[in-house]
Amino acid sequence: MGTLETWQAGDVIAKEINYTNASGHCGIAVSSTEVVAAGSNKVSQGSHGLIGATVRRYTGD
């Protein structure tokens, strides 16, 4: 699906980020602008720097 300007709730949002202990970050969209994502010590809601990230959407196929 690539990148989308508008996310939908349930979309998986992922972005390659060069961390010292990980290859990127991902979350599950809860709206068109926010995701729920897990950090090293908590789960939080926000954009998490994932604007312009890769989006995958389950379509039932």
Dump pLDDT digits (tens) for 5-57: 678 999 999 888 888 887 888 899 998 888 899 888 899 998 777 777 888 99
Kindly report the pTM of this predicted structure.
0.74
Give yes or no for residue 58 having a pLDDT over 80. yes
DSSP 16-54: E---SS-SEEEEEESSSS-EEEE-SS-EEEE-TT-TT-E
Is the separation of the CB atoms in 20 and 44 below 8 Å? no
- Give the per-residue pLDDT at 12: 92
Is the separation of the CB atoms in 37 and 44 below 8 Å? yes
Nearest to 38 by CA among 30, 21, 26, 23: 26
24-29 and 12-16 as β-strands: parallel, antiparallel, unpaired?
A: antiparallel
